[in-house]
Amino acid sequence: MTGEQAYVFAVLGAAFALFLWGRWRYDLVALMALMAVVVTGIIPSEQAFSGFSHPAVITVAAVLVLGRGLRNSGLVDLMARPVSQVAGQPYLLIASLTGLVAILSGFMNNVGALALVMPVALKTAMDADQPPSMVLMPLAAGSILGGLMTMVGTPPNIIIAAYRETLTGTPFGMFDFSPVGVTITVAGVAFVSLIGWRLMPDRKGPTARERLFRIEDYITEVRLREDSTTVGMSIRELETVSAAEVAGLIRGEVKRLVPSRLEHLRVGDVVILKIDPSRLGALISQTRMELVGEKQLSADILKSDEVSLIEAVVPPGSPLEGRTPYSLHRRTQWSMNLLAVARQDEPIHERLDEVRFRVGDVLLLQGDAQSLPDAVSAIGCLPLAGRGLERGRPNRVAQAVAVFAGAVVAISMGWLSAPIAFVAAAGALVLLNQVTLREAYEAIDWSVIVLLAAMIPVGQAMQVTDATGLIADTVTGFEALPPWGLLTVVMVVTMAITSVINNAATAVIMAPIAASVAVAAGVSIDPFLMAVAIGATSAFLTPIGHQSYTLVMGPGGYKFGDYWKMGLPLLLLIVVISVPMLVLFFPFQD
C-alpha cells in the first residue's frame, strides 16, 4: 500500500466515522473530505469543484423539480382516490398504499412521494381503526423499492448511469434498470403486504394526538390576582419563568387563542397554560396566581372555529433540524404556538425551549385555522392528519405528464442526454406555471447536491491512487468465488454501508470499487454496477440509512430496533432475487 492510498483510506474512514456520528451534516462532512484530498494534490485544485457540473448532479436537481411539478398538478390525488375503497382489508390496504408510493417513486423523489402519500395512509388507517405503525414502515419501504425501477427513481441509479458513461462512453438508459428493478419492487411490495406489516409493532391507541401527546393531562387555567408577580409581564416572559406554553388568554368575555407573545398580562386575566403537573404547584406558589376550577381540562379548549391544532413531522432537510423552538417563531410571519413535541412515540416533557428538533419529531402546533397549513410549510414541516392533497385539473395533469413523458421518450430514443432532457422539461414546467421559480429552487435538496458534488472527486481520488484496484485485488483474491459470488459480495457490502451512510455517497464510493472487481475478474462491469445501484438503494435495516425510514420513525412510533425485523428478511429476498436476475439480464461476458 502506497502512502497516497493509505491517506485516501484514512480520509474515507474519517468520513465514514463522521457520517455515523451524525453530529455534522453529511454535506459538510463530504466537503471536508473533498478539501482533504485537494490540499494534498491528489485531486488538482482546478478539478476540486468539477462535481457540480457532473451529469449526475444536474440530473438529480432537474428530477427533483419535475417531481414537484407532478405533485402540483394533482396527479397523486387522482391515483390515491381508489385507496379509500379498501380501507377495511389490511392486505389490500397495505398493497394499495405501498404500490401507489412505489409507482410514484419510480419517477420522482422517494421522500417527496412518501410525503405525499403519508397523510392518505394515516387517514385511511385511522378510518380502518388500524395503528399507524402497521402502515407507515411498509409505505416507506415501498418508496425505497420504487426507486429501483427507473434511472431517475433514486440518486444511486443516476450516479451509476453517469459513471458507466465515464467508463464506456455510454450511460445506462432510462429503463435499463427496469427488468431487475420492477421484479424486485413487485416482490418487495408483495412481501410487505402479505408478511412484512405483521412484523411491525402493534402500538394501537386512540387518536394520534391522544396517543402521542396526552395533552389533556397538561392543560391548566390560572388567574392573575392583584398580588401576582406575573402582572405586567409579557406572555413571552411568563413562558420563560414558568417553563410552560401559553395556549390562550381570557380577558373579560373575550377568549383569544394563540395570543401575541408580546401581549402584557393584567389583573384578572385567565391564562390557559400547557405545563407539566409536577411543576404546577411550584409555579402557583412562586407567582401567586390561582387555579381556575379543575386543573385538568379538555383539549377542545385549545380550539375554536378560528383556531385549530395540527400535527406535523420534521422531515430530512428541514430548516428546523438541530434548532430550538425559537427558530420556529423567526421563520414564519404567522402566529402559532408549539404545544408539544413527541419523539419515537413518546412525548417530551422537558422544557420545550430547550429541545433541539430532530428528523422524525412530531410537533403539535396551534394557530389560525386558515393560515396554519401555510405556516407549517413555511417552517419546513410536513402536516400529518388533516392535510388534503392537491386537487388537480385534468389539463394540468395532462400537461405535467406530457412534459415528463416527452423527456423520457427523448432519452430513450437517444435524441437528448438525460441532463439536457430533464433540465429542458423542468424549464417547460416553469414556463407552463406548473412550478414557480421559487418552488423549483425549494424542490432541490441542496444538501444532496453538495454531497454528490463533493464526493464525486473523492471517488476519483480512489481511482487516481488505485485504491480501488487494491480493494478489487483483495476481493478477487478469493479464487474459490465464482463471478456470481463476487457479485453477491459487492451487493451485500454495499447494503451494509448504505445502512449507516447516505445512499448517494455509498454509490459514489462503491461504483469504482465494483468496476475494479469486475475488471480484475475479467467479466463485464454492468452487473456489478447494477449490484451497487440495488445495494445502495436497499437501506432497510436502520432508520438512518434512508430519509424515508427516518421520516416515519416519529409518526409511526418506531424504535431503532423495529427496523431490522422487516428489513432483514426484505434484504435477503432482494439478494436472492436480484443476483440471478442480474446474471440473466446483464451477462458476465459481453
Would residue 53 count as lying in a domain? Answer: no
**What is d(CA 382, CA 65) in angstroms, rounded to the nearest whole number?**
18
Residue 86 pLDDT greater than 70, yes or no? no
User: For residue 418, which of 110, 71, 171, 51 has the smallest C-alpha distance?
Assistant: 171
Residue 236 pLDDT greater than 60, yes or no? yes
pTM: 0.77
| pLDDT tens per residue, range 493-533 | 999 888 878 888 889 999 999 999 999 889 999 999 999 99
Map grid coordinates 421518450 to a residue: 409
Rounded to an integer, the average pLDDT of 552-564 is: 82
pLDDT the model gives residue 179: 95
Residue 581 pLDDT greater than 90, yes or no? yes
Residues 167, 254, single domain; the answer is: no
Assign 388 a pLDDT band (cuts: 50, 70, 90). Answer: very low
DSSP state letter for 352? G
Would residue 58 count as lying in a domain? Answer: no
User: For residue 344, which of 38, 87, 556 has the smallest C-alpha distance?
Assistant: 556
pLDDT the model gives residue 364: 85
pLDDT the model gives residue 299: 64
Domain boundary among 366, 389, 412: 389
Would residue 279 count as lying in a domain? Answer: yes
Residues 24, 103, single domain; the answer is: yes
Q: 292 versus 33: which is more confidently predicted?
A: 33
pLDDT the model gives residue 208: 45
Would residue 394 count as lying in a domain? Answer: no
Would residue 288 count as lying in a domain? Answer: yes
Assign 206 a pLDDT band (cuts: 50, 70, 90). Answer: very low
Residue 149 pLDDT greater than 50, yes or no? yes
pLDDT the model gives residue 555: 80
**What domain count does the chain have?**
2
| CATH number of 318's domain | 3.30.70.1450
**What is the Rg, in whole angstroms, of the alpha carbon atoms belonging to the chain?**
26
Assign 205 a pLDDT band (cuts: 50, 70, 90). Answer: very low
Residue 573 pLDDT greater than 80, yes or no? yes
Where is average pLDDT lowest: 254-268, 367-381, 562-576? 367-381
| pLDDT tens per residue, range 423-455 | 999 999 999 999 999 889 988 888 888 988 998
CA dist 501 to 59, 116, 290, 495, Å? 22, 25, 53, 10
Domain boundary among 389, 406, 429: 389
**What is d(CA 434, CA 312) in angstroms, rounded to the nearest whole number?**
26
User: For residue 95, which of 187, 177, 181 has the smallest C-alpha distance?
Assistant: 187
Residues 216, 297, single domain; the answer is: yes
Would residue 9 count as lying in a domain? Answer: yes
Compute the mean pLDDT over every residue in the chain, rounded to the nearest whole number.
Answer: 84
**What is d(CA 178, CA 176) in angstroms, rounded to the nearest whole number?**
6
pLDDT the model gives residue 203: 55
Of 61-65, 339-343, 427-431, 474-478, where does the model show the most confidence? Answer: 427-431
Does residue 551 contact residue 525 with C-beta atoms inside 8 Å?
no
Residues 183, 248, single domain; the answer is: no
Where is average pLDDT lowest: 92-96, 172-176, 366-370, 512-516? 366-370
Domain containing 581: what range?
3-48+75-204+445-585
pLDDT the model gives residue 221: 87
* DSSP codes joined into one string, 474-541: HHHT-TT--HHHHHHHHHHHHHHHHTTS-HHHHHHHHHHHHHHHHHHHTS-SHHHHHHHHHHHH---S
Residues 166, 101, single domain; the answer is: yes
Does residue 437 contact residue 426 with C-beta atoms inside 8 Å?
no
Residues 194, 215, single domain; the answer is: no
Assign 108 a pLDDT band (cuts: 50, 70, 90). Answer: confident
Residues 233, 316, single domain; the answer is: yes
Residues 279, 145, single domain; the answer is: no
Residues 130, 12, single domain; the answer is: yes
pLDDT the model gives residue 159: 93
Residues 248, 337, single domain; the answer is: yes
* DSSP codes joined into one string, 281-320: HHHHHHH--EE-S-S---GGGG--SSEEEEEEE--TT-TT
Would residue 439 count as lying in a domain? Answer: no
Assign 348 a pLDDT band (cuts: 50, 70, 90). Answer: confident
Domain boundary among 341, 362, 389: 389
Sorted by sequence, the CB contacts under 8 Å of residue 194 that are 6+ apart come out as 91
Residues 378, 518, single domain; the answer is: no
Would residue 395 count as lying in a domain? Answer: no
Residue 140 pLDDT greater than 90, yes or no? yes
pLDDT the model gives residue 406: 93
Residues 513, 540, single domain; the answer is: yes
Of 39-43, 500-504, 560-564, where does the model show the most confidence? Answer: 39-43
Rounded to an integer, the average pLDDT of 37-65 is: 91
